[in-house]
């Protein structure tokens, strides 16, 4: 169960905005995180508390296929990203690094910046505690949940190989 405050942004947030290219010399979350969304909201990282939720509109994560973008988000302490929909490569990169990610147009439409959410990833249920509303998302398939719960694809494979 995830519980956090919403940090909401708009449509077509591309990977260059999520993590500017000038910082993409690293794949270390702790080096990327301080710069997450800084060209969109210079105070994003200062406002973020570990466990908070990032919410956006259409086509979140469009642009390049770099894995640095979901790494920066996860490193900034975001527990889950909810959007109307995603660029497919961003969606897969998020799963690969163990970042929880859901699609729910209804939640995006009826949630405001600063609302408190409670998210049940197993059931795909998003509760807006602030507004007293419940939204649904297709729960992640079991195989994908295993990857996210393991902390990403590398950790998942290590578990499978008992390494």
Domain ranges of the chain: 2-161
Check whether 134 has a pLDDT greater than 80. yes
Residue 162 banded pLDDT, cuts 50, 70, 90:
confident
Superfamily (CATH) of domain 2-161? Aconitase, domain 4 (3.20.19.10)
Residue 163 is predicted with a pLDDT of 75
Position 100 confidence tier, pLDDT thresholds 50, 70, 90: very high
Report the candidate in 21, 33, 111 with the shortest Cα–Cα distance to residue 66.
Answer: 21
How far CA 150 is from CA of 56, 100, 158, in Å, comes to 25, 11, 9
Q: How far, CA to CA in Å, does 11 sit from each of 17, 22, 31, 141, 157?
A: 12, 23, 26, 26, 34
pLDDT value for 122: 86
DSSP annotation of 61 reads T
Helix ranges, 79-161 (H): 88-96, 105-109, 142-150, 153-161
Of the candidates 63, 56, 83, the one whose C-alpha atom is nearest the C-alpha of residue 21 is 63
């Amino acid at each position: 169960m995830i519980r956090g405050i919403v940090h909401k942004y708009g449509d077509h947030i591309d990977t260059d905005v999520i993590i500017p290219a000038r910082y993409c010399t690293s794949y270390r979350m702790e080096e990327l995180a301080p710069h997450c969304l800084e060209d969109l909201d210079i105070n994003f990282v200062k406002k973020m508390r570990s466990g908070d939720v990032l919410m956006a509109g259409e086509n979140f994560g469009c642009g390049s296929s770099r894995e640095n973008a979901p790494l920066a988000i996860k490193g900034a302490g975001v527990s889950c990203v909810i959007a109307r929909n995603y660029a497919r490569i961003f969606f897969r990169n998020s799963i690969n690094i163990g970042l929880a990610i859901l699609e729910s147009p209804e939640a995006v439409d009826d949630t405001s910046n600063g609302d408190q959410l409670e998210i049940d990833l197993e059931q795909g249920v998003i509760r807006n505690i602030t507004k007293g509303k419940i939204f649904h998302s297709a729960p992640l398939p079991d195989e994908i949940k295993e990857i996210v719960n393991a902390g990403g694809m590398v950790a998942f494979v290590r578990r499978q190989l008992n390494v």
